[in-house]
Amino acid sequence: MSGAGFDRSEARAQALDVEDRLRELRTRFHVPHAVDGTARAYLCGNSLGLEPVAAAEGIQRELDDWARLGVEAHFDAASPWYTYHERLREPLARLVGARPSEVVAMNSLTVNLHLMLVSFFRPEPGRHRVLIEENAFPSDRYAVESHLRLHGYDPAAGLIVAAARPGSAALRTVDLEEQLDREGERIALVLLGAVNYFTGQWFDTTRIAATARRNGCVVGLDLAHAIGNVPLTLHDEGIDFAVWCSYKYLNGGPGAPGGCFIHERYHDDTERPRLAGWWGNDPSTRFRMHAERSFVPVRSADGWQVSNPSILALAPLASSLGVFDDVGMPALRAKSERLTEYAASWVEHAANGRIEILTPLVPCARGCQLSLRPDEGAIELARSLRDAGVIGDYREPGVIRVAPVPSYNTFHDVWRFGRAVERWAAESR
């Protein structure tokens, strides 16, 4: 799609949509419309995914069971509430490349991160530092700093920030490997966003995790911008733990429950510190209540649960995960690469050299997000996109993120984005 002969015509975008074997997926989502009824080009799935059409029906089903059965719906509903979270195990495991026992849907991302840090950040004198990437999502950094303080360490000294080389927005894998080999004996934990929220860079977690393990470091991943966006292989990579939210590429709805991955090698480690709660207790004794004095964790990721999940919040996520199972990540990823390449080509040919793409251009180093930094007038570009019916988002300092999501975006959506960039470049000289 790139090169000197790049076709900017609307007819080309429409032809690409006709060729798209996944085009019918769009009908399974509610696409926002403008006041005049025109569908918007929604390129903001990196922030909040669209509502699945089936979500309302899923919520209503649980409301109906609540009305019909009351408390008995825990065991007598069509999808019993007591085991409801188990419905999500296998679909989530397929998305992150894990065994079903290694994943659990629960809580929000940062709550899960705190729970994981209790278990997996075990600092010792001489090995207490934490490595994170530059431009890590702020909540990750706040959580890590709070745990450093909790253990009596100064975050200014305990936090190691892996920075990109001057003049580059992306971190090189070799630089991370060299940093781990150089400083690894002092590092207790490596915590990375598998796909960086700000730049959209997809890290080579296989190589990074291998280097970290060789140096005795625990490896945790924030998958907020990775799950449902790129293929993942957490079990085979030997990742120790991972956390995610479900309202971006998983389309679970605003504030949807997140999830955790805990590698199975830890499931029998009942001596490892954790914050315990009754929903993490062995289901066979859970309802013995106060008669069961001791916490006996489930020998799976479920053992890190602390409270029973919100059924009404899980229902939309269950609906959305069905889309991934029906299509599969390989097909979604193939379309994602084509859509994102098409968007990058538009920026290259329409922006007159005035926009830097911070996201790596190599497909294996990015998901479906492009982070764009105009030479000036970023807020004006964001307004121009919105005026043209194109929804992305603006992030300080001066960066616009757009994400052509393969499950509901079209090549025509990207064409509208490209035309808006072209007009901005022509009008703001």
CA atoms within 13 A on the CB side of 8: 17
Task: Report pTM.
Answer: 0.95
State which of 325, 355, 388 marks the end of a domain.
325
Tally of structural domains, the chain: 2
Q: Look at phi and psi of residue 398 and say left if phi exceeds 0, alpha if psi is from -120 to 50, else beta.
A: left
Residues 367 and 408 in one domain: yes
Q: Do both 305 and 361 map to the same domain?
A: no
290: which 2 tokens?
Answer: 């106060």
Asked if residue 3 has pLDDT above 60, the reply is no
Instruction: Please report the pLDDT score of residue 58 as a whole number.
Output: 96
Residue with the two structure tokens 């991943």: 221
361 plus 384 within the same structural domain: yes
Tokens of 222: 């924030």
147 and 204 in a single domain? The answer is yes
Please report the DSSP string for 236-299 in residue order. Answer: HHT--EEEE-SSSTT---TT---EEEE-GGGTT-TTS-----GGGB-TTTGGGGGG--S--B-S
pLDDT tier at 260, thresholds 50, 70, 90 = very high
Determine the structural domain holding residue 406 and report its residue range. 10-30+328-427
- Yes or no: say if 409 and 16 are a contact pair by the CB < 8 Å rule: no
Give the pLDDT confidence of 341-367 residue by residue, as tens digits. 999 999 999 998 999 999 999 999 999
The answer, yes or no, to whether residue 286 has pLDDT greater than 60, is yes
Q: Are 399 and 316 members of one domain? A: no
CATH, residue 390: 3.90.1150.10
Please, are residues 339 and 404 in contact by the beta-carbon 8 Å criterion?
yes
Tens of pLDDT, residues 43-55: 999 999 999 999 9
Q: Average pLDDT of the chain?
A: 95
Which among 291, 307, 325 is the end of a domain? 325
Give, as one character, the DSSP assignment of residue 375: S
CATH number of the domain residue 205 falls in: 3.40.640.10
The pLDDT tens digits for 287-320 are 777 777 788 899 999 999 999 999 999 999 999 9
Burial of residue 272 (CB within 10 Å: 0-12, 13-18, 19+) is middle
Task: Give the pLDDT score at 1.
Answer: 62
Domain stops at, among 300, 325, 350:
325
Same domain? 145 vs 96: yes
Q: Minimal CA–CA distance to 97: which of 256, 288, 245, 227?
A: 227
pLDDT for position 2 = 55
**Mean pLDDT calculated for residue range 377-403:** 93
